Amino acid sequence: MFTQATRYSATEQAMEKGEKIYKEKAKPMWSKQQGFHSMNMYKVAEGPNKGHRLVVLRFNDRASMDAAREKLGEQREAMLKELDQAGIKTEEVMKLEEIA
């Protein structure tokens, strides 16, 4: 399993726009890709990043995720630009490889 976790920050109003983009564009776009496992959005409940959103994207393996990122390049970039224009900032991207 290969996972990418992305943390976003914004005002609560902007987050509502981001959640709509996630539901209507991001999740359907990624879920059609070969090797896709799951995609979920979380609201950080505690700690210094409380209120931020964490989007967790899982693929069966890194090669599948890399192939999907390549295939979706322009579409993905347009969606990221839309998030930016809505006032949503990408704070951190982590790529995680399951080992046990």
- Measured from the Cβ of residue 19, the count of other Cβ atoms closer than 10 Å reads 15
Rounded to the nearest integer, the mean pLDDT of the chain is 95
Torsion of Cα atoms, 84 then 89 then 91 then 97, to 10°? -50
Report pLDDT for 78.
94
CATH of 2-97, one of 3.20.20.70, 3.30.70.100, 3.40.50.300, 3.40.50.920: 3.30.70.100
pTM above 0.85, yes or no: yes
Report pLDDT for 12.
87
Report the alpha-carbon distance of residue 78 to residue 29 in Å, rounded.
12
Taking only the tens place, the pLDDT of each residue in 27-58 is: 999 999 999 999 999 999 999 999 999 999 99
List the chain domain ranges.
2-97
pLDDT > 70 in the chain, percent: 100
